[in-house]
Every structure is written in C-alpha cells, then in structure tokens.
Amino acid sequence: MQLPADLSAALEERLATQNVRSLASVSGELSQRYRSGHARSQQSSETFLHSQNDVLAYAAYRLPATFAAIYAALAEVQTRRSGWQPRSLLDIGAGPGTAAWAAATIWPELEQATLLERDARMMALGKDLARHAACSALRHARWLRADLTMSSGLENSRYDLVIMAYVLGEIPAMTQEELVERLWQQTADTLLIVEPGTPRGFALVRAARERLLAVNAQTLAPCPHNQPCPMPQNDWCHFAQRVSRTRLQRSVKGGTLSYEDEKFAYAAMSRADGLPIQARVIRHPQKRSGHVRLDLCTPTGLKQAVVARSAKERYHMAQDLEWGSTLNEPL
C-alpha cells in the first residue's frame, strides 16, 4: 500500500528542506534508542524523542510503516463491522497523528477527532501535517497535551473509536492495565490496540485483550473468537503490512528496496458483535505444487489444514489466501 496522497504530500513538504544525511544519521540513532530502551521503558516514563531532529527523523523513518499497520488493522475492523461509521475518534499517544490519518482514510466521514500527545514538538508536527488533510475532522482536530502515565491526563468523554497504537510498550508496566481499563471506559464502540510484531509486543496485546474480555468486550480482529488466546507461550501472533517507500524514505533508511514490511500485533475490541468468520491465517501459507498448507486460528483453537489439488474448489480458494486472510466458510 501507499500513503494517501494528502498525507504523502504533507510529509514531503515538511521534510523537503531537511538534509537527507542528517535525517539518516538521526534515524539510525533513534532506531537504536528504541531497541535498547524498550526494556527500560517498562519501568520509566522516559521519552525516546530528545530533539526536533528526532521528531522529524521519526516522521521520515517510522510514520509510513506505522500508518500501514494501523490502516491494516482498521481495515479488518471495517470488514467485521460492515456499514459502521464512527463519528468521533480518540487517538491516544498520537505522535504526529498517524492513527487519526489512518482512521480518516478508511472513514472519511469522521466528524470529530481528539488527539492526546505529551511531546509538544510532535504535536506541532502533527498539526502542521493535518493542515493538508482532506478530512475536515483532521484539519480541525483537538490536540491535547497529556501524560498517559497519569490518570489526570485522560478525559471522561466517550468516543466511537479509540486507538492506542505503539504506545502501551512505552509506558511503565505498573500503569498499563489501568490505562487499558480507562480507555475501555472511554470507548463507546470500538477500541484498537496496536504494538510491534515482536514477542513482547504480542504479550502486551494479549494481556490487554484478556483484560478486556473479562469486562465482556467482543473481539473483532484478529481472533475469530472470544476465547483465551490459544497461542503457546513460546510463540507469538503477528501480521505484516507492506508499504511503498518514497525515494526520501529509501535514502533515510539506507535501503534499496522500494517497499518495507511492517510487522505488528493488534487487538480490536468492541461493545458490538462483528460479522462472524471461520478462521484467520496466522502464518504465510505454504503453497506447493500439489497442496497448500495453512496455519489457522479458529473458534476451536489453532489448526493446521492441508488442501490438496484434488479438492479443486477448496484448493483454488486456498491458493488465494495470504497471511492474515480470513475464511468465511470451513475448508
């Protein structure tokens, strides 16, 4: 996928005057800081962003990939809630507004957006980018500076759609459960939580989902059920979204490929039921000359299915499946 035209244009305009070598250097430092500081962030509220250069490097280095992951997760929500139109959005730990952009791309009739972010420089960038948005809710969004580690940083208002993306792993462990509970209280309909597609990211999402199931939330995606996650403790469930790189992004990342794959874990929880699905493909399908092997999550647990060429219709259906695909009928 590609960034929407209005976001791509806004990002390119904002970064046009930046030195590419400088952005690449800062991006490398920022990436290392994220990796080395992830464990430390469980006990500390320390921010990973230390300067304006960090903020701009983040926009060049991470915004497209995180947009792609959040968009992919929201697209699954849209599929399970066909015809649903959220009117209000709360974007928690908004950064430059990436999740709000993804939501507005899927639901352009969004009417109102509130974005909470603690870094003033990131808020300024987000407001600057939003000036170019086609969606009125983004252009007129309400930005609030808030520290998510403090309950006073959250309001009591309720929103149709609440998104917390790439945030849970960056706040102290002792406050994570409380934050999830507070966000559910503010969710009038659907709450989406997204984290990196790592074992730790999945563990955070899994724990949040279990807490929400305990208060009768319904799972929209990725799970096709409301049962405890059947994934073994030594494994993790995650997905990938491919996003096109611009020339600037290739230069910043020091890569030659015209795309990158963002791996992510997520849970979309709702107060309403979604359209039922029979299974979700949770690994790359193994497509061979005479059969397709599928790893599936089903309402009755994890399952491996082998579809042989001799089962003509089922085989052709299996050939079209990808990692993350849903099955609406049994194989």
Question: If DSSP states are collapsed to H, E and C, what string results for the chain?
Answer: CCCCHHHHHHHHHHHCCCCHHHHHHHHHHHHHHHHHHCCHHHCCCCCCCCCHHHHHHHHHHCHHHHHHHHHHHHHHHHHHCCCCCCCEEEEECCCCCHHHHHHHHHCCCCCEEEEEECCHHHHHHHHHHHCCCCCHHHHCCEEEECCCCCHHHCCCCCEEEEEEECCHHHCCHHHHHHHHHHHHHCEEEEEEEEEECCHHHHHHHHHHHHHHHCCCCEEEECCCCCCCCCCCCCCCCCEEEEEECCHHHHHHHCCCCCEEEEEEEEEEEECCCCCCCCEEECCCCEECCCEEEEEEEECCEEEEEEEECCCHHHHHHHHCCCCCCEECCCC
What is the arithmetic mean of pLDDT over 255-276?
Answer: 88
- Checking if the pLDDT of 42 tops 50, the result is no
- Tell me which of 7-21, 152-166, 210-224 is least confident: 7-21
- Checking if the pLDDT of 44 tops 50, the result is no
**What is residue 17's predicted lDDT score, i.e. its pLDDT?**
73
- Checking if the pLDDT of 244 tops 90, the result is no
- Checking if the pLDDT of 168 tops 70, the result is yes
**What is residue 43's predicted lDDT score, i.e. its pLDDT?**
40
- Checking if the pLDDT of 37 tops 90, the result is no
What is the arithmetic mean of pLDDT over 193-208?
Answer: 96
What is the arithmetic mean of pLDDT over 219-237?
Answer: 96
Q: Domain spans of the chain? A: 5-270, 279-327
Q: Grade residue 50 by pLDDT with cuts at 50, 70 and 90.
A: low
**What is residue 329's predicted lDDT score, i.e. its pLDDT?**
83
Q: Grade residue 308 by pLDDT with cuts at 50, 70 and 90.
A: very high
Out of 163-177, 209-223, 248-262, the most confident range is 209-223
**What is residue 41's predicted lDDT score, i.e. its pLDDT?**
43
- Checking if the pLDDT of 36 tops 70, the result is no
Domain 5-270, CATH class in plain words: alpha beta
- Checking if the pLDDT of 310 tops 90, the result is yes
- Checking if the pLDDT of 156 tops 90, the result is no
